[in-house]
Amino acid sequence: MSSKRKKQGGEHLQRVIDMCKSIEERSLDPFNVDVDDIIAVVQKYFPEWELPEELCLDAEAIHHLASIIKLQGDWVKHRSTSLYTDPFLLEEKIRRLSKEELATLFLEAWHPIIELEQISLHSLAEATKYWQDLLPLSERWLKTGSLEMETGATTREELVKLRILAEKTFLEELEVFWEELKHRVGREEKIRYWDFIGADNYSETTKRAYMASFLVTYGYATLELHPLEEEIFIKPFEKPKSMLGKKQTVSIPVSVSYEEWVRWKGGKPN
């Protein structure tokens, strides 16, 4: 086995170990780990290991993978004993119910709150006192002189300067950002997320990350995750795609912290 291939295999195993540790320490969803993929990686390199250090790294990866499998088993056991019902199964069950069955279930679960209000002697006394304390209409409706103001014309540029109108609508800005993404990608079809949103200063980087999130939400682009390589790519679509009603969308949190930005800049903040 070449030294380059050994180095690559060791890096893969170390990423597997780090990912499993992160799941264990932060109590994240253990099903975020694809066990079959990790086993395939371990099997791929195991026959080539010779040194004790290499075998220890392989054993550590297997140990942490076994911990993840145990967490998955505990997760399933907890959900089954707590009468947990998957939301997708509930949705499917509701879709199959008829209107009459839905109405019956609603009536059985409906517990309206009834409040009774009535006029008391005390409330009548308070109302009488209120009307007696009011000033006469002649004093309340005093005539005020009308203010005269000259009318004039203005331009769109002046309204933009006064921030009454926006220079560009949000959708226009989003489409300009989308065109920039397609231009940056070119023939590669996708680009690293940080290489696209990263800017010379942190405030501009956060703004670009904000716009990129709407590109994905509105169907202008999609994100590709490579967990083992710890890389995220953003890929533009040729035409905007509506994701509503087609498939279950998944929220993907991406950290755009100041520390991440400094690391992307090579440790040289402005």
Q: Which CATH architecture has domain 170-264?
A: Orthogonal Bundle (1.10)
Amino acid in the structure at residue 239: K
Distance CA 19, CA 38 (A): 11
Neighbours of 193 (CB within 10 A): 19
| Residue closest to 49 by CA, chosen among 17, 19, 16, 12 | 12
Q: What percent of the chain has pLDDT over 70?
A: 78
Q: Across-strand partners of 236?
A: 221
The residues, ordered by sequence, that sit 6+ positions from 174 with a Cβ below 8 Å of its Cβ are 211, 214, 215, 218, 220
Query: Model confidence over 79-124: pLDDT tens digits?
Result: 666 556 667 777 888 888 898 988 898 888 887 777 667 778 888 8
Query: Model confidence over 171-193: pLDDT tens digits?
Result: 788 888 899 999 888 878 889 99
Neighbours of 245 (CB within 10 A): 5
Amino acid in the structure at residue 39: I
pLDDT exceeds 50 at position 166: yes
Q: How many helices (H) and strands (E) does the chain have?
A: 12, 3
pTM: 0.39
What is the per-residue pLDDT for 73?
84
| Residue closest to 197 by CA, chosen among 218, 183, 213, 186 | 213
Query: Model confidence over 58-81: pLDDT tens digits?
Result: 888 888 888 888 888 887 777 666
CB contact at 8 A, 223 and 193: yes
Distance CA 12, CA 18 (A): 10
Strand, coil or helix: 125 = helix
Classify residue 239 by burial, with Cβ atoms within 10 Å: 0-12, 13-18, 19+: exposed
Strand, coil or helix: 268 = coil
pLDDT exceeds 70 at position 215: yes
| Residue closest to 38 by CA, chosen among 57, 15, 71 | 15
Distance CA 24, CA 30 (A): 8
Mean pLDDT (the chain, rounded): 78
Domain parsing of the chain, residue ranges: 3-81, 170-264
More confident residue, 139 or 151: 139
DSSP letters, 107-176, are HHH-----------HHHHHHHHHHHHHSPPHHHHT---PPPP-------HHHHHHTTSS-SS-HHHHHHH
| Residue closest to 224 by CA, chosen among 252, 200, 259 | 252
Q: Across-strand partners of 224?
A: 233
What is the per-residue pLDDT for 31?
77
Q: Which of 37-41, 89-93, 155-159, 176-180 comes out lowest in average pLDDT?
A: 155-159
Token digits for 12?
Answer: 């893969």
* Local confidence band at 151 (pLDDT 50, 70, 90 cut-offs): low
